[in-house]
């Protein structure tokens, strides 16, 4: 008999993105009743130190708080852990070492899902924090598949991405969506055929303004939710 399945979600980064991830877990699971839905325990604590500021050297490291959340989820009996925040994966190795339960990697889930696409794009744009872009996780794995990457310029990050992201965090979804749509259009203009929305605030913002290009985007949080659902269904 397999071990009991209980997904731990290390959330709060931000809280709206965590709630959206929980919705995606429900939608990814073909349940016919409450009892068939994926069981989860969620650590949705927004007081975790700002990841972007930490990586920019202008704020404290969130690692102690992240490790605390991981330990709480382990104590709650999590069999697997998901982190629906791309930038937090900067501390993935340290968190994995602190966790008895395996931590699923959002980039691996995304690239595995992209490989299942009927028509693999040749040029993919990435909308993400500077920390995620600097880490190169997506770029390296896309390059290994022979896919060219289109990245935001430093000026675009300053003008559109950063203010758009923080607009979402303060609840101004339409304002954030309008700014992030400008970032998306700039990537399309430079030849991107599809976009990976590698920051969990971006999909909810673009949905808020009903961006006409949403069908050309790929949501890593959704890919992660689908991977979690697959594990639950196989349990």
List CB contacts of 201: < 8 A, sequence separation 6 or more. Answer: 14, 16, 17, 164, 165, 168, 169, 176
Active site residue: 199, 211, 224, 228, which one?
199
**Computed over its alpha carbons, how large is the radius of gyration of the chain?**
17
Within 13 Å and on the Cβ side, how many CA atoms surround 225?
A: 23
Contact 220, 141 (CB under 8 A): no
Q: What letter does residue 35 receive in the DSSP assignment? A: G
Return d(Cα 125, Cα 108) in angstroms, integer: 17
Convert 150-187 to b/e letters by CB count within 10 Å (16 or more is b).
Answer: bbbeeebbebbbbebbbbbbeebbebbbbbbbebbebb
Among left, alpha and beta (phi > 0; psi -120 to 50; other), residue 18 is alpha
Using left for φ > 0, alpha for ψ between -120 and 50, and beta otherwise, residue 136 falls in left
Catalytic residue among 66, 85, 111, 126: 85
Specify whether 199 is catalytic.
yes
Is 204:16 a contact under the CB 8 Å cutoff?
A: yes
Residue with tokens 């896919």: 147
CB atoms within 10 A of CB 142: 22
Catalytic residue numbers read 85, 199
């Amino acid at each position: 008999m397999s071990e009991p399945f209980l997904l731990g979600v290390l959330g709060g980064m931000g809280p709206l993105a965590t709630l959206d991830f929980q919705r995606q877990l429900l939608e990814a699971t073909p349940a016919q009743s409450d009892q068939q839905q994926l069981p989860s325990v969620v650590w949705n604590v927004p007081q975790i130190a700002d990841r972007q500021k930490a990586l920019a050297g202008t704020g404290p490291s969130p690692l102690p708080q992240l490790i605390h959340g991981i330990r709480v989820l382990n104590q709650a009996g999590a069999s697997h852990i998901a982190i629906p925040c791309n930038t937090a994966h900067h501390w993935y190795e340290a968190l994995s070492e602190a966790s008895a339960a395996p931590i699923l990697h959002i980039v691996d889930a995304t690239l595995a899902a992209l490989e299942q696409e009927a028509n693999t794009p040749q040029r993919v744009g990435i909308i993400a924090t500077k920390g995620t872009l600097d880490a190169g996780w997506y770029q390296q794995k896309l390059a290994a598949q022979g896919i060219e990457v289109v990245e935001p310029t430093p000026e675009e990050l300053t003008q559109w991405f950063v203010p758009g992201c923080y607009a979402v965090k303060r609840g101004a979804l339409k304002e954030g969506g309008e700014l992030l749509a400008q970032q998306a259009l700039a990537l399309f203009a430079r030849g991107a055929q599809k976009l990976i929305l590698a920051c969990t605030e971006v999909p909810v913002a673009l949905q808020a303004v009903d961006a006409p290009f949403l069908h050309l985007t790929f949501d890593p949080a959704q890919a992660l939710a689908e991977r979690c659902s697959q594990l639950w269904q196989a349990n």
